[in-house]
Amino acid sequence: MKPIEVAKGIYQVGAVDWNIRDFHGYSTYRGTTYNCYLIMDEKITLIDTVKKEFADEMLDNISQIVDPKRIDYVISNHTEMDHSGGLPRLMHKIGEDKPLFCSRMGQKNLSCHFEEKWNYRVVENGGELSLGKRNLVFLETRMLHWPDSMFTYIKEDKLLFSSDAFGQHYAGPEKFDDEIGEAIIPHALKYFANILLLYAPLILKLVDKVTEMGLVFNAICPDHGIIWRQDPNKIIKAYVEWSNQKPKRKAVVLYDTMWGSTGKMAEAIAAALREEGVDARPMHLRSCHRSDIMTEIIDAGAVIVGSPTINNGIFPTVGDFLTYMKGLKPQNKIGAAFCSYGWSGEAMEIINRELEGMKFELIDPGVKVQFVPHKEALEACYQFGRKIGQRLAVLEA
């Protein structure tokens, strides 16, 4: 990759991972990038690194601007190894004693990952560092995405290096928002839904804090995907909207099926919802990736979960998804369950308990059908879908 000039004397020198398709359980069907940023000042500074396998590529990119040995400072905004994996190779190259700036939790977490005794310099929230012509400000952003996370802001250039926040798993020819336009938003939404959703309350607080501080941005430079330079406020506004999770008249009907019965029920429920004016999507758990389903759930007012009963329990893919969704803590949802069964039929109660545990509003005990849904059972599914659709209309009003 050629270094990308973000502003005069500031370059993105990371790497593109074109072929990654699974990022710890998230489907990255457009690959990703690991962005890191070189600031050419009196103190030459690198913000973040890349995944270990791309460390040489990063060093090659830096070499196109300056001999890496001339780097004076390294800043680690976040410890996760897609951003810190290149540190050992970098520090070995530039000198193990060069100052490595990070948050207090950053030092703790980096020390857990790497045995090297680097020259850690802990920075406080609001702390500043002069590079000569430029001054950096550090903002602690705990849990966005780990306890060690922080942002780095350049006062003079009004650039925010936001680590995971505002990122997208997207590898393409475009490097900036103005080069890709609206097409980047679904990737940013998917990233938010699968990485940051559970921290939505913290995001809203952070946006308030940044507004209070009066920070303005010429560009927001995340560690994944494109850089927001045309309209950085657009992604901030989108984060506020996504964090608020205002339910729309939309329902995700997610299910798995063994012999087609639960699938037929899902179709009947979705059809009834659509007749009530709801954007209803049946999503089969072995056809749709969990991270794509989660993305659809962000603005859905209802999540309706179907499973056959198998071995007195729920289907494994349903268990996988419920565990995943529970961890991401979506809010403001109606929850509902449906199941087919042969002789015991525990699946519906198990799903209802899970949905209740997630604080979803349960407005109906659900629909349970023995073996194959015929006319009467499909009518029950239809009435169930209509009831949920009518409740969504009330919530929207």
The answer to whether 51 contacts ligand FEO (rule: CB under 6 A) is no
Between 78 and 89, whose beta carbon lies closer to ligand FEO?
78
Of the candidate residues 17, 80, 148, 296, the single one contacting ligand FEO (CB under 6 A): 80
Task: Give the residue with the Cβ less far from ligand FEO, 150 or 272.
Answer: 150
Evaluate whether 53 touches 1 at the Cβ level (below 8 Å).
no
Which one, 58 or 265, has the nearer CB to ligand FEO? 58
Q: Does residue 24 carry a catalytic annotation? A: yes
Is 187 catalytic? The answer is no
Distance of alpha carbon 311 from alpha carbon 388, whole angstroms: 29
Q: Which one of the listed residues 11, 153, 170, 191 is annotated catalytic?
A: 191
Which positions from 123 to 152 touch ligand FEO by CB under 6 A, shown as an x/- string?
----------------------xx------
Q: Which of 365, 288, 299 is nearest to 324 (CA)?
A: 288
164 tagged catalytic: yes
Residues 223-252 that bind ligand FEO (CB under 6 A): 223-224
Q: Out of 169, 224, 239, 276, which one is annotated catalytic?
A: 224
| Contact criterion met (CB below 8 Å) for 202 and 238 | no
Secondary structure of the chain: what % helix, strand, coil (to 5)? 40, 25, 35
Q: Contact between 82 and ligand FEO (CB under 6 A)?
A: yes
Under rule CB under 6 A, residue 78 binds ligand FEO? yes
**226 with 171: CB under 8 angstroms?**
no
8 Å CB contact between 295 and 27: no
Q: Is residue 78 flagged as an active site residue?
A: yes
Judge whether 73 counts as a catalytic residue.
Answer: no
Report the DSSP beta bridge partners of residue 221: 161
Cα(19)–Cα(9) distance, rounded to whole angstroms? 30
The C-alpha atoms of residue 73 and residue 341 are separated, in whole angstroms, by 62
- Cβ closest to ligand FEO, residue 145 vs residue 368: 145
Closest distance between ligand FEO and the C-beta of residue 78, in Å?
Answer: 6
Using rule CB under 6 A, residue 187 touches ligand FEO: no
Alpha carbon 17 to its chain centroid, in Å, reads: 17
Cα–Cα distance, 306 to 348 (Å, whole number): 8
Query: Hey, is 165 helix, strand or coil?
Result: coil
Find the catalytic residue in 26, 34, 145, 223. 145
Rule CB under 6 A: which residues touch ligand FEO? 78, 80, 82-83, 145-146, 164, 223-224
Q: What is the set of active-site residues?
A: 24, 78, 80, 82, 145, 164, 191, 224
